[in-house]
Amino acid sequence: MVKGLMSVLLVLVAVSSSFGKPEKNSSAKKEKKLPQTLSRGWGDELTWTQTYEEALFRARSSNKPLLVIHHLEDCPHSQAMKQIFANNKEIQKMAGEDFILLNLVFETSDKHLAPDGQYVPRFIFVDPSLTVRADITGRYGNRLYAYEPADIDLLLSNMKKAKKLLKTEL
């Protein structure tokens, strides 16, 4: 009886230890992932804020407009816009020098950041007085703050407009 129990115990130990061993082939298939930064690929050389509250504080204290980018990591439209935004040198330069930047992969509790719905990608400008600029929009009537890769010149123009209006209004 003792020998039978020892045999069963030995089999259970052998089976349970095989569950803890990683497969050799599965490690070769996995990609090496880099650590996530606040830029999330929108411009690694730029300074990004971590939260909406921090971004509002920095916009007010630095007297710079805030650019909020709502996007999703698995959205093809967001990914396409991210590539265009990150590779456009003029946008990267202006964003780094003249804007407080925040990109969000989740919705905030502030209803002003989704005035016409929660879609992505969405680019919203907030001036240093903490007013959402409803007058600075994209070209779509049903998604006012949406931009597509073909709209990059409009986004650049709107960034200039947000910067210019800031100087003439304040």
pLDDT at 37: 81
Is 60 exceeded by the pLDDT of residue 28? no
Task: Look up residue 16 and give its two tokens.
Answer: 């349970």
The average confidence (pLDDT) of the chain is 84
Q: How far is CA 113 from the centre of its chain?
A: 15
**pLDDT, tens only, 113-168:** 888 888 899 999 999 999 999 999 999 988 999 999 999 999 999 999 999 876 55
pLDDT at 56: 95
Burial class of 68 by CB neighbour count within 10 A (0 to 12, 13 to 18, 19+): buried
Q: How far is CA 27 from the centre of its chain?
A: 28
Average the pLDDT over 66-80 and give the result.
94
Task: Look up residue 63 and give its two tokens.
Answer: 């007297």
Task: Look up residue 123 and give its two tokens.
Answer: 């680019």
